[in-house]
Structure 1
């Protein structure tokens, strides 16, 4: 017997598929699909438009401008396990207040390119640990957490605003569908959901890499549906819980 053909789906396409095809939005709803994480297949975030069962990527950020990487490097700096214990920093943030200098320096490390709705960095964020360690030196751990979370919420909100400008004016306020480990920051999600430009927000449960296998299957199935003249949004049931 021959092995069936293997289709390779890139990391952020799989994330985007979970967000769009797993969402509760209707088959004719225009949806702004966002993915963001540390990185996967050389990419750390994407912006796509989903409509009538199809997704078209509008923008991407390479792994060198990763917001998630900054958050995880800070997690490691504070003695926790990177890519796992970021929630502890988010939970500690309300117990202190942001240091304006730290927040400003983080914005100088990574900022939003509003024209292309992507993140840009002065350096490759893979190698930002040294700069972060210098920035955080002799700072209280709770102030570091508060400053990091404040920067994170601001830069994510700014990115969403830039991305929303890529949608036709008739499709605003926007419907968001999101996936990727960065969207497991519930406080950041709260800030995004309260933006005037956002009408509704869906985050795939769970948004991390554990669901990329589901997204890969959704993407391949959706592609097959479209090739046969069918709308995959009519075929794939929304996923509200796992």
Structure 2
């Protein structure tokens, strides 16, 4: 059976399952080159089907992840800027009217109208409406956490995000036959995730995109002023008997821009970030701890955009009640395409055929001619193009000499994290490499930490991981060991580390680079950051890679079998 999962909200995406095995997944932002592209993932769907040699009519079921649909991002529109404006506008008269309309059937009518347009796009490809289905938003998140690592009936499944189909959090228990029973839910009007969105907008950053920047800023502040900011956020929510709600007089976070602006107007930005992060860690861990004690479970399965906060995940993993923690990788709404397909299988009695997530290298793989055309383009630009007999060894040699090397190889990663196939790599012992990558290549904020890729064979050398948590996807954070060896890949203020632990089985060619680097330096870790210019999607095709190299200070690119270098200053 061939199933296509669809996420048509923000971070639009598509996924393909064949007989319970995930064979491909892609975000719409990659082929369209529009960051966090929302709406119907038409180009992602087309590329996935084409890469598998399939036609739309061969798909047995198209399953939408959530009843809410977004309008498509128009070509050329800067959605980031419009998002910031929308949160400020939501605090005005228009926002109040919108808030009232959300409590009427009008909200559902708008989503149904958008969904009808998406159905028409499928029908235009010859898809029968009888083959189109929908799974509720948080069921999709829960499905990724439940089926992604493989079903474990002793686990507790929790989802937390901004909002989806009227909810912001759920608690579920596995039941026989692969089912999940929801035992608690929290309405979106009380969303901690939406609080992060409005504070992100208040800081002049992009909601639903730059929350990680606030997390990165948080360790730079401490003391009484950060504590006062934390108490301000803490006073806005109340925990009670396994649920939470806003305190009296606190407005719905989505429409609370002016409320928080007045209270934070003279609070320094880093104190705000520190207070918000500290509140979130304490609040969510206390809530989760309560459910662990109530259910007697010691294994946690988490999903939803709030768990993209790796420092929160670190705090959860350190709870004494937690023996085992699995956070679904890149657990924002993009993964609801996967969850929708898995939940659909469970609804049709085939949960036992769902195969656990094996890898995130799920995007289409460039053809040899794609690499050759891009290499020819590099030659036309006057760059040096060679085909080393051992490309992995050559990359390791450059890294060991202090060079920065980008890599585009094989199937691209799905989701927000680059895991070696669309990455920029460097020696993590070099203190100056952060400045080089930030200023010359990534063009991003100076305070943001980088992350390391670590050989699984020497993970204990770099991670303090007493519970032996599995960490292949940069979704968990740990305190670091041998910090000087990974200094450029740790948070500069607190020494924490967000690793990708690389095994030979999961990515042989990338693991080989780490092996060769270790042979030269004695160190089994490299700095790894996503291959993109800040504010743009991670590169997808070889042509995208050449384009980023052309527009940045990147000097070395491993492009499939080719090694491309350009003179400094080009």
Please give the TM-score of this superposition, normalised by the length of structure 1: 0.88
Q: Structure with the greater relative contact order (CA < 8 A, sep ≥ 6): 1 or 2?
A: 1
Tell me how far apart the structure 2 counterparts of residues 240 and 80 of structure 1 sit (CA, whole Å).
34
Q: Is 2:225 aligned against 1:97?
A: no
Q: Output one character per residue of 1:101-120: Cα deviation in whole Å (capped at 9) or x when no partner.
A: 2211211112322x1x2220
Superposition RMSD on alpha carbons, in Å?
1.7
Alpha carbons 1:65, 1:125 under 8 Å: kept = yes
Alpha carbons 1:63, 1:125 under 8 Å: kept = no
Tell me how far apart the structure 1 counterparts of residues 358 and 293 of structure 2 sit (CA, whole Å).
28
Q: Which residue of 2 aligns with 1:111?
A: 238
Which deviates further from its counterpart, 124-133 or 65-74? 124-133
- Residue 146 of structure 2, aligned match among 20, 24, 28: 20
Q: Is 2:258 aligned against 1:140?
A: no
Q: Which residue of 2 aligns with 1:208?
A: 332
Deviation (angstroms), 1:237: 1.9
Alpha carbons 1:45, 1:118 under 8 Å: kept = no
Q: Output one character per residue of 1:29-88: Cα deviation in whole Å (capped at 9) or x when no partner.
A: 321111111101110110111133110001111011101011111111111000000010
Q: Residue 283 of structure 2: SS of its match in structure 1?
A: helix
Listed as ranges, the matches of 1:42-61 within 5 Å are 42-52=166-176, 53-61=178-186
Q: Which residue of 2 aligns with 1:186?
A: 310
Q: Residue 165 of structure 1: SS of its match in structure 2?
A: helix
- Residue 354 of structure 2, aligned match among 229, 236, 240: 236
Tell me how far apart the structure 2 counterparts of residues 90 and 17 of structure 1 sit (CA, whole Å).
27
Deviation (angstroms), 1:240: 5.1
Q: Which residue of 1 aligns with 2:346?
A: 222
Q: Output one character per residue of 1:106-136: Cα deviation in whole Å (capped at 9) or x when no partner.
A: 11112322x1x22200332222222211221
Q: Which residue of 2 aligns with 1:175?
A: 299
Deviation (angstroms), 1:161: 1.2
Q: Is 2:249 aligned against 1:125?
A: no
Tell me how far apart the structure 2 counterparts of residues 111 and 213 of structure 1 sit (CA, whole Å).
33
Tell me how far apart the structure 1 counterparts of residues 308 and 262 of structure 2 sit (CA, whole Å).
27
Where structure 1 has 5 or more consecutive residues not aligned to the other structure, the ranges are: none
Q: Is 2:288 aligned against 1:160?
A: yes
Alpha carbons 1:111, 1:155 under 8 Å: kept = no
Alpha carbons 2:238, 2:245 under 8 Å: kept = yes
> Which has the larger helix fraction?
1
Q: Is 2:203 aligned against 1:78?
A: yes
Deviation (angstroms), 1:176: 0.8
Where structure 2 has 5 or more consecutive residues not aligned to the other structure, the ranges are: 1-125, 361-570
Tell me how far apart the structure 2 counterparts of residues 137 and 126 of structure 1 sit (CA, whole Å).
18
The count of residues paired between Structure 1 and Structure 2 equals: 228
Q: Is 2:125 aligned against 1:7?
A: no
Q: Residue 174 of structure 2: SS of its match in structure 1?
A: strand
